[in-house]
Chains A and B, each alone.
Chain A
Amino acid sequence: MEEKTSFWSRITFSDIVDWTLIPILMIGVVISVYIWLLLPIEPGSMEANIIGDPVSGFSNVWASVLQHLKLIGISSVLAILAAVPAGILITREGFRDFADIILGVANFGQSVPSIAILALFMGIMGIGAPTAIFALWLYALLPIVRNTATGIDEVSADVIEAARGMGLTNRQILFDIELPLSFPVMFAGIRTASVINVGTAALGAFIGAGGLGNFIITGIPLSRERMILIGAILTAVMAVMVDWILGKIEDRLVFRRE
């Protein structure tokens, strides 16, 4: 039997580094942004109009972060809701033959650059957050569908046969065997899709969806370096953090499986 060891004694130095390095680094970056970029803004200046100033607080920065999170959050959740069933579907008997065609089309779609997708849908749906969310949603579908299907396909045929031999129904096999076993791969797809979404959401500002991209795209024509840096650095921090958090969750899930 496994020996009972205290939680603390099992933590190694590299665990600590692994868990703290990125967050501490990112917090450091955010604090630096606050001290060197946000605090020196002079009240009443043009920058203060767009970003806010120390006196009135930086409500716009906060709002932009929230808007950015909203864009990626809604689109990612919707993408998961649509793509996971679709991924499961194309691994079902009688549908496997279609999997290649469907994944081929999706792959093709993924090769189209995100800015082009945004522009195309702006023409159809007009400007605003819904358009951006729709484009993000569409863009996030492929990695999730693909990974769901691959994950399920990779479940070894022996395991499924054993389950069938024990009298599990198809549905039980799906929910008790295939899905739990393919979860890590599926989740990796969700992680990829979400991180790509952070970057694409920044482009959403071009079609009036708001978010942190706003600071960048307003800053560039105005040559306001401070504004550009605030947008750029915070977007990058968000991307790294989303990747890190989902990566940690992923580790957890994979770990549990073993």
Chain B
Amino acid sequence: MPQKEENKTAFIGFWQGLLDDWMAVLTRPNIETYIRLKERATSPKIVLNLALLGLVIGLYVLTIQPPAFIQTDSLLLDLGRLIFYTEADFFILSLILFVIAGLLGGTGGFVEHSYLLSLITAPLGLVIVAFLFVANKLGLTLAAIMNPLSSIGITTIFIVLFGLYAFLLLLFALEAAHEMESHQVIYTIGAVLGSWGILRVIAMFAAGEDNIITQESAFLAEEWARGTLQQAILGHLWMVAFSVFIAVVIGVVMGVLITMPPKRPSVSHLFFLIPLGVFFLIWAAPKGWLGMGIADPIMEISDTLDIGLTRAAKGFFGPLLSLLSAIVRKPAAVGMIGVILTVILYALLLAGESASELTLYIAGIILTIPSIALFGVFIGPFSIGAFNAVVALTLYAQLPILRNTYTGIKEVKPEIVEAGRGMGMTEFQLLRNVKIPIATPVIMAGVRVSVVMLVGIAAIASYIGNDTLGDYIFHGIQRVQPLRYYAGAITVAVFALSMDYFLGWLQNRLTPEGLKGRR
């Protein structure tokens, strides 16, 4: 019968159209496609899309995971319930997105908006169900699959890529439905996620149960009341600050030296080399050498420091004093490092620019050595404690500073240097008044990298006997106290981020005005 034929083709055409729309959404994701699809939006289509998804979800859940999901006697009723849930969830979410998009200047209608979202949700949902089904057949439990962290490999990649893709489609759908700017789309999604997060937290507290946030804050408050948290923060702060301070001095000097022309050694150099050598020798001399030896008075100083230290132990400068005392207590090591440093600096003074490549190369290699390994290697000569930590931290910190000082100075335009030289500036004046000020932003960027890096390494230094925020992490791990290691991780992270922020601000402050407005 012709009537029925026509109905039949219309029927097939309808399903084909639906499938076409799905395929278009998935395979040609761009604004034009979505704007074109928007024209075909009708409410029944939305309901149908979701009903299909709900049906598949329902079938999957009921066949694979029955016990928990069967609530009535009739499977059909359960299926209907699951379909209804799917629809309801979708419309609630869609409505929230719609309202927020509207508040942020979206112009689309609810039907168009929902239609585009349903076109994304339904096929992507089907893909997820199919994935879960296959995984299930392979013997993976739902919990294992849904937890992106538990079984690495395929699941992780799938979820990350899939999530990114879904996110991308969502952006396009919103942009097309409401003819918004990209940033409005981002704000819309951000607002939804943000309010969801806030509601979630409020709900957590409203429920009145203990949760990670209340427990963690209670733990931190307790530590603060005892004064141990402050000590750890101060220990961390001073260790980083002290090392960075030394590293800036050495790093900048070395960075500057390797930009200078080579020099001939001259007798006059002995006037500072010999006294320096004698100084370090005396410094390093063990008891009994050179008469009484310098070690004794140093130890005395250190002892007085220690006495002052116990008094000031809880004070702001306490950790600094204990650092100094630890350094003073190793005269031989200090002397040795002093001699090595003098030799290196003098060699760089002579070699100047010709040593730049080698220096930067070695610096690069040292930077690849993992911090825990370096601490380990230094246990031999320096044993554990603050001295070891300060040496390792300083060594790390000066490398970005050295590198950035070098690049910063090298990047000063040659004509600027020539103008200065041509006007009769001495090399030192050129350096102080021209090269270093112009290189300051780059040098500060190096300092910033160093400090953020050191905050992390100082935490690890806790393992070789230093009181830093790392104590919380390591003790927490040892004693299996999640609250404790969370406290460590969070405070270290906050510390690093705030240092990064602060140094960003400082970098901006120290950049000469005239260099800011350019570009």
B168 touches A125 (CB 8 A): no
In the complex, how many residue pairs between chain A and chain B have their CB atoms under 8 Å apart?
171
If A81-B157, A111-B500 touch, whether A216 touches B369 (CB-CB below 8 Å) is no
B30 touches A239 (CB 8 A): no
A217 touches B372 (CB 8 A): yes
B489 touches A119 (CB 8 A): yes
A213 touches B489 (CB 8 A): no
> How far in angstroms is the closest Cβ of chain B from A228?
4
Could you say which of A119, A200, A240 contacts B485, with CB atoms under 8 Å apart? A119
Could you say which of B149, B186, B370 contacts A235, with CB atoms under 8 Å apart? B370
Interface of chain B: mostly helix, strand, loop or mixed: helix
If A98-B182, A113-B496, A119-B488 touch, whether A199 touches B372 (CB-CB below 8 Å) is yes
Residues of B within 8 A of A240 (CB): 365, 368-369
| Interface size of A as a range | 35 or more
- A125 and B150 CA atoms in complex are apart in Å by 7
Could you say which of B164, B364, B373, B452 contacts A232, with CB atoms under 8 Å apart? B373
Closest to A201 in B: B370
- A102 and B168 CA atoms in complex are apart in Å by 13
Residues of A within 8 A of B464 (CB): 220
If A85-B164, A111-B497, A122-B477 touch, whether A117 touches B368 (CB-CB below 8 Å) is no
Residues of A within 8 A of B460 (CB): 115, 203
Residues of A within 8 A of B186 (CB): 97-98, 101
B456 touches A113 (CB 8 A): yes
If A82-B160, A125-B150, A232-B377 touch, whether A115 touches B175 (CB-CB below 8 Å) is no
Residues of A within 8 A of B489 (CB): 115-117, 119-120, 123
Check: A94 CB closer than 8 A to any chain B CB. yes
Check: B242 CB closer than 8 A to any chain A CB. no
Check: B41 CB closer than 8 A to any chain A CB. no
A134 touches B493 (CB 8 A): no
Q: Most chain-A CB neighbours within 10 Å: which of B161, B182, B489? A: B489
If A124-B149, A207-B477 touch, whether A229 touches B455 (CB-CB below 8 Å) is no
- A242 and B486 CA atoms in complex are apart in Å by 32
Q: Most chain-A CB neighbours within 10 Å: which of B370, B380, B464? A: B370
Closest to A212 in B: B373
If A78-B157, A232-B376 touch, whether A119 touches B456 (CB-CB below 8 Å) is no
Interface of chain A: mostly helix, strand, loop or mixed: helix
- How many residues in B have their beta carbons less than 8 Å from beta carbons of A? 59
Interface positions of B from 163 to 211, Cβ below 8 Å from A: 164, 168, 171-172, 175, 181-183, 186
Interface positions of A from 46 to 97, Cβ below 8 Å from B: 74, 78, 81-82, 85-86, 89, 94-95, 97
Check: B344 CB closer than 8 A to any chain A CB. no
Residues of A within 8 A of B384 (CB): 220
If A82-B161, A220-B379 touch, whether A112 touches B152 (CB-CB below 8 Å) is no
Check: B91 CB closer than 8 A to any chain A CB. no
Residues of A within 8 A of B379 (CB): 220, 225, 228
Closest to A203 in B: B372
A195 touches B477 (CB 8 A): no
> How far in angstroms is the closest Cβ of chain B from A50?
15
A-B contact pairs, 12 of them (CB 8 A): A82-B161, A94-B31, A114-B456, A119-B473, A202-B372, A213-B372, A229-B377, A231-B373, A233-B377, A235-B373, A236-B373, A243-B365
> Which chain B residues have a beta carbon within 8 Å of chain A's beta carbons?
30-31, 149-153, 156-157, 160-161, 164, 168, 171-172, 175, 181-183, 186, 364-365, 368-377, 379-380, 384, 452, 455-457, 459-460, 463-464, 470, 473-474, 476-477, 482, 485-486, 488-490, 492-493, 496-497, 500
Besides the known contacts A89-B168, A94-B30, 4 further A-B residue pairs in the complex with CB atoms under 8 A apart: A94-B171, A137-B156, A229-B376, A240-B369
